[in-house]
Amino acid sequence: MSTKHRLYLKQAWNLMKQNRLFTSIYIAATGLSIALVMTLFIIFYVKFAPIYPEYNRNRILTISTSMRVDKNNEGNWSCNSGVSYYFVSEYLQKLKHAEAVAAVETNNGTTLASKVGDKKAVKTFLRYVNADFWQVFTFQFLAGRGFSPEEQEAVQPVVVLSESFARRIFAHSAPLGEKVFFNGKEFTVIGVVKDPSNATPYATADAWTPITHNASSFINKEHMGFMGGIHAFMLASDKKELRREVLDMIDRYNQQDSVYRHEFFGQPDDYWMSTFRTGNNDEYGFSFWSLMKNYIFILIALIFIPALNLSGMISNRMDSRMSELGVRRAYGASSREIIRQVLWENLLLTATGSLLGLALSYLIILTTSDWILHLFDGVVTGSGSEINVTFEMLFNPIVFGSALLFCVLLNLISALIPTVWALKHSIINSIHSKR
């Protein structure tokens, strides 16, 4: 730091001490603004950014709802919150640009689990998935591995456990080869993974087992066709080409089927868009911007209104310092030097407020995460109602850096505008202004 910059910083510190009321209010207002911005940034990061184990969000296309219409009677139709396993295995997995297609059963729920010799069963969240699930979602295996296509079709069922569930059942995190019972049915443990957060709604569970062991996933093709209770997650080598492949395939199938027409409401969706799909929205009614407009207004209120208030505070302060600025200009201080001084003052105040804002943002997220993350959708799931916000989500340098930079820029602009306005006054008028 140069001598001049150290002087600016010293002057800024002295001014802060001289007007402690203004300093306290400004730091508090800045801290609150940064806390709110940080909270929003964390929310969007959790919902849309690649986080464990959903690191491939930017490469995933999803299909989560379907409808079948009788071609001979348009009034005869039915909808489902998912697709059939037949559709996934016979059509989606054979597409050229689909590297892997995860089938995730939607009708998962609380299941009673126990190990050999235990008389008391514990409640657990069991999820039925296919072998491709372990390719689409990137889990950290602490022991063992995910199940293969061959194990998926085997008679003897296997299971992968979360670390916390493995410890709850077996009192250690590496029970490979051990037997565990779900609703009285025996499963062999072949893997243990690091716990996912239930803020990753499609990947989280206490245990994962092959979808072939859930009879409800295998509705007869002739009965339901493409409809079923499965969410499909396609890992794309080229999202544009994969989407085109899916739409062309559905169109060809509908032309060949003389009885039914299957519709998918504009899907496949990008992963981020799927989090906003709360029902059977048609491709025209489903609009990201219509869903987001309310949140844009919230964003404006939380960010720009505090910035305007801060600008008003600085403007009033500039009015009280007009005489001082006039004297400094009379003794040769340039407008550039005065602007630099004011910006240094503002930067010091903002830096102090940012520390307060950082602490407040983490407090907000940690205490209200369940409510806050549901503001944007209702697909957060898990065995409990409380959302698990991990260290990775909170202490991400990109999130903090982006939020801090955004607020610093707003604060500097809020200081720059009244300063430039004050400098437009003549030196004589500034000196004779009311202190």
Q: Are residues 227 and 294 in the same domain?
A: no
d(CA 264, CA 280): 9
- For the segment 77-87, the average pLDDT, to the nearest whole number, is 82
Residue 378 is predicted with a pLDDT of 46
- Residue 282 forms part of a structural domain: no
- Residue 422 forms part of a structural domain: yes
Q: Is the pLDDT of residue 311 over 90?
A: no
Phi, psi of 126 (to 5 degrees): -100, 130
Between these two residues, 253 and 405, which has the higher pLDDT value? 253
Between these two residues, 24 and 165, which has the higher pLDDT value? 165
Per the listing, tokens 């603004």 go with 33
- The type of residue at 281 is N
- Residue 284 forms part of a structural domain: no
Between these two residues, 292 and 323, which has the higher pLDDT value? 323
Residue 102 is predicted with a pLDDT of 96
Residue 390 is predicted with a pLDDT of 66
| Residue 249 token pair | 């395939």
Q: Are residues 229 and 108 in the same domain?
A: yes
Residue 282 is predicted with a pLDDT of 47
Phi, psi of 77 (to 5 degrees): -145, 165
Mean pLDDT lowest for which of 337-341, 377-381, 430-434?
A: 377-381
pTM of the model: 0.75
Domain boundary (248, 274, 300) is at 274
Q: Pick from 325, 361, 326, 323: which is nearest to 345 by CA? A: 325
- Residue 281 forms part of a structural domain: no
Q: Are residues 186 and 300 in the same domain?
A: no
Residue 424 is predicted with a pLDDT of 72
Q: Are residues 46 and 65 in the same domain?
A: no
Q: Pick from 173, 174, 157, 266: which is nearest to 214 by CA? A: 157
Task: Say how many residues make up the chain.
Answer: 435
* pLDDT category of residue 284 using cuts at 50, 70 and 90: very low
- For the segment 52-60, the average pLDDT, to the nearest whole number, is 93
- For the segment 142-150, the average pLDDT, to the nearest whole number, is 94
- Residue 246 forms part of a structural domain: yes
- Residue 250 forms part of a structural domain: yes
Domain boundary (274, 307, 326) is at 274
Q: Are residues 47 and 72 in the same domain?
A: no
- For the segment 418-429, the average pLDDT, to the nearest whole number, is 71
Domain boundary (274, 309, 336) is at 274
Number of domains in the chain: 2
Q: Are residues 46 and 179 in the same domain?
A: no
CB contact burial 157-178 (16+ within 10 A = b; e otherwise): bbbbbbbebbeebbeebbbeeb
Give the domain extent around 339.
Answer: 3-52+289-431
Q: Is the pLDDT of residue 103 over 90?
A: yes
**Helix (H) / strand (E) containing 162:** strand 158-162
Rg (CA), the chain: 29
Q: Are residues 67 and 24 in the same domain?
A: no
Q: Is the pLDDT of residue 95 over 60?
A: yes
Between these two residues, 321 and 174, which has the higher pLDDT value? 174
Q: Are residues 238 and 339 in the same domain?
A: no
- Residue 77 forms part of a structural domain: yes
Q: Are residues 113 and 149 in the same domain?
A: yes
Residue 40 is predicted with a pLDDT of 76
Q: Are residues 210 and 227 in the same domain?
A: yes
Residue 384 is predicted with a pLDDT of 43
- Residue 75 forms part of a structural domain: yes
Q: Are residues 297 and 264 in the same domain?
A: no
d(CA 326, CA 295): 44
Q: Are residues 225 and 346 in the same domain?
A: no
